[in-house]
């Protein structure tokens, strides 16, 4: 095969490579950001992904689609291997500053003793909870039913991922209790073949509830281990 034919074969074969390498590189960067820093906002993750995608596409395109020499692909593979080695060294160096965050234990958040309920939380409540690590708020809606000291029901949460689009999730109340005017709700749901749960602790007074939530999944898996919440009663 003459050199010109080799170059054109390299250019044609390089089309899928030019597309796949930026995609894989940006996905790896997103995973690395989440792994090191915890869940970030869409803007925080998308900007470095866009930079990596543009840079890698411009570099790979020069070795494949717009190649001028038949040996450019092998030269580019060596450059990518060097870059991956450098990234691996960065990951190992970052391991020491990646402080682990343990989830809260549900058993330690339960009421040790319950008092007769002085409030009735049955009905629909709307409000929000705030995730300080990710820096966003989610609108929540609680539909609760109280029998004595026990509470059952569901929690709906909605996060606006981008203009006009919302990500909605449904949490089931696993175990709920009222002690005097204090609220203790354990909630959970299944996501991506794993179970996520948390606890809401708060006080109910004159149609309003507020307090703190505690995650039972480590913060670095995609959310804060601790935050605040509030809700107001909309229907009895």
Domain CATH for 184: 2.40.128.120
Q: Are residues 14 and 92 in the same domain?
A: yes
Q: Are residues 23 and 58 in the same domain?
A: yes
Using alpha carbons, list the distances in angstroms from residue 60 to 19, 32, 46.
9, 22, 21
| pLDDT of the residue at 132 | 74
Residue in this structure with the two tokens 């990500």, named with its chain if needed? 167
| pLDDT of the residue at 195 | 82
Q: Are residues 110 and 225 in the same domain?
A: yes
| pLDDT of the residue at 106 | 92
- State which of 97, 124, 146 marks the end of a domain: 97
Tokens at 50, concatenated: 């866009």
Tokens at 31, concatenated: 């995973």
3-state secondary structure at position 235: strand
- State which of 45, 62, 97 marks the end of a domain: 97
| pLDDT of the residue at 41 | 47
| pLDDT of the residue at 40 | 47
Is the Cα torsion angle 122, 128, 133, 136 positive or negative in sign?
positive
Q: Are residues 168 and 190 in the same domain?
A: yes
| pLDDT of the residue at 121 | 95
Dist CA 105 CA 225 (whole Å): 11
Helices (H), the chain: 3-37, 42-63, 72-94, 106-109
Number of structural domains the chain divides into:
2
Domain that holds residue 190: 106-235
Average pLDDT for runs of 10 along the chain of length 236 = 76 78 74 59 60 76 76 75 72 58 86 93 94 77 96 88 70 95 93 82 94 81 76 90
Q: Are residues 29 and 132 in the same domain?
A: no
| pLDDT of the residue at 185 | 96
């Amino acid at each position: 095969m003459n050199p010109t034919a080799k170059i054109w074969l390299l250019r044609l074969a390089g089309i899928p490579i030019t597309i796949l390498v930026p995609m894989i590189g940006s996905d790896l960067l997103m995973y690395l950001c989440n792994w090191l820093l915890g869940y970030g906002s869409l803007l925080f993750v998308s900007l470095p992904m866009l930079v990596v995608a543009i840079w890698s596409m411009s570099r790979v395109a020069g070795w494949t689609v717009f190649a001028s020499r038949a040996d450019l692909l092998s030269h580019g593979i060596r450059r990518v291997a060097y870059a991956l080695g450098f990234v691996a060294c960065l990951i190992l160096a970052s391991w020491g500053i990646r402080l682990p965050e343990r989830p809260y234990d549900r058993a330690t958040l339960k009421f040790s003793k319950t008092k007769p309920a002085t409030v009735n939380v049955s009905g629909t409540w709307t409000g929000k909870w705030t995730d300080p690590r990710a820096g966003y708020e989610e609108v929540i809606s609680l539909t609760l039913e109280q029998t004595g000291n026990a509470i059952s029901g569901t929690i709906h949460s909605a996060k606006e991922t981008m203009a006009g689009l919302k990500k909605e999730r449904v949490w089931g109340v696993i175990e709920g209790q009222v002690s005097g005017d204090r609220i203790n709700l354990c909630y959970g749901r299944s996501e991506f073949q794993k179970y996520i749960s948390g606890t809401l602790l708060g006080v109910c007074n004159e149609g309003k509830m507020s307090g703190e939530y505690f995650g039972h999944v480590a913060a670095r898996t995609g959310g804060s281990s601790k935050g605040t919440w509030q809700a107001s009663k909309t229907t009895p």
